[in-house]
Amino acid sequence: MADGRKVLVIIEATQNQHLALERAVITSEIKEPGSHVHLFISVDNENTKLSADNDDLYRDDVWLNAITDKLKNAGASFSFELCWSNEWQKAVLASAQRFQPDHIFMPDSQDSKKGLFSNQQWALLRTSVAPVTIVRSSDIKPRKKILAAINIQKQDEAEYARLNEKILIEGQNIAKHYDTDFFVVNAYKDSMHFPDRQRIMKISGLPTDRVHAEEGDPATVISRYAKEIDADTVLIGTLARQGTKALMKGNTSEKVLSKLEGLDVIAFS
């Protein structure tokens, strides 16, 4: 296969609408020469009733063909695999290790009305080498406004500087690729932690009216500004945790995501 984008799409086998796939299909990068889509079809056991009376656990060729036909109609090269592991996050990472994707598309939780993700989904966001797009909106349209959430106050710390760079580069690339508007938001705790606005403008390449700094809780600031500019996609960073903490919820990025109802989120770790 010639050099091209490699996209891993997670298909939740109990669902009939596949938002992650639909987002991938309208992403023109999959139509670039040599690009390839790999479907990872599985069940997240934390979000699914696994008893035999759950009719959504039974799938046939009609269901599978409906999925693959979307890619055929888009002219995309694709492959797929089925996975029965009850270690969902590890299974996705193992698939990603084999496939080496440039990007992963993941559907939102089945309980998306409450903004809940399973522990396994959170763990994937923190440990994936490739950025993960969490597709939440049922209205799949081309992106128009991209918002990148960064933490410039910790730019001198290596892991935060790396995350900021990833977020800004990807945001700039998406904005250029789709000819969309690009914005940056930076929340801060108090006046003692006021971010260097000039530094944000320098590393983002944005004018002052595209850079927003506000005091307050990051989740509240980011979600409020996203609503104010009518953003459809928000880029955030997630820091990996070690041991049992890697499977626990509760950090800033998770609070941000819970407030960004109906918006696609691209997470970087």
On whether both 126 and 24 belong to a single domain, the answer is: yes
Token representation of residue 108: 């939102």
pLDDT at residue 116 in the model:
56
Q: Are 183 and 203 in the same domain? A: yes
130 and 149 part of one domain: no
- Per the structure, the complete domain to which residue 13 belongs is given by 6-135
Contacts of 137 by beta carbon, 8 Å cutoff, 6+ apart: 19, 232, 262, 263, 264
Rounded to two decimals, the pTM is 0.88
Top mean-pLDDT range of 26-30, 189-193, 252-256: 189-193
Q: Which of 117, 135, 153 is the last residue of a domain?
A: 135
Q: Is residue 17 part of a domain?
A: yes
Cβ proximity of 235 and 266 under 8 Å: yes
Q: Tell which of 114, 135, 156 closes a domain.
A: 135
Do 153 and 253 share a domain, yes or no? yes
Measured distance CA(112)–CA(122) in Å, rounded: 14
Question: What's the whole-number mean pLDDT along residues 168-195?
Answer: 89
Asked if residue 36 belongs to a domain, the reply is: yes
Q: Indicate the number of domains in the chain.
A: 2
Cβ atoms of residues 140 and 263 within 8 Å: no
Residue 255 and residue 168 share a domain: yes
Q: Is 1 within a domain?
A: no
Whether 140 is in a domain gets the answer no
Query: CB of 143 within 8 A of CB of 176?
Result: no
pLDDT confidence of 28, banded at 50, 70, 90? low
- Range ranked top by mean pLDDT from 69-78, 114-123, 158-167, 206-215: 206-215
- Same domain for 91 and 57: yes
Q: Is residue 66 part of a domain?
A: yes
Identify whether residues 114 and 150 lie together within a single domain: no
Q: Which tens digits make up the pLDDT trace of 70-96?
A: 999 888 899 999 999 999 999 999 999
Q: Answer whether residue 60 is part of any domain.
A: yes
Domain assignment present for 209:
yes
Query: Do residues 13 and 131 both lie within one domain?
Result: yes
Confirm if 267 and 131 have CB atoms less than 8 A apart: yes
pLDDT score recorded for residue 31: 67
Same domain, 158 and 240: yes
pLDDT digits (tens, 9 = 90+) for 92-142: 999 999 999 999 999 886 444 444 567 788 888 888 989 999 998 777 888
In a domain, 215, yes or no: yes
Q: What is the DSSP string of 102-140?
A: SEEEEEPPTTGGGT---HHHHHHHHH-SS-EEEE--SS-
Residues 214 and 165 in one domain: yes
Residue 189, domain CATH: 3.40.50.12370
Q: Domain with 92 in it: what CATH number? A: 3.40.50.620
Task: Answer yes or no: do 171 and 117 share one domain.
Answer: no
Q: Does position 242 have pLDDT exceeding 70, yes or no? A: no
* One domain for residues 234 and 121: no
Report DSSP letters for 186-218, one per residue: EEESSGGG---HHHHHHHHT--GGGEEEEES-H
User: Which domain-ending residue is among 103, 135, 167?
Assistant: 135
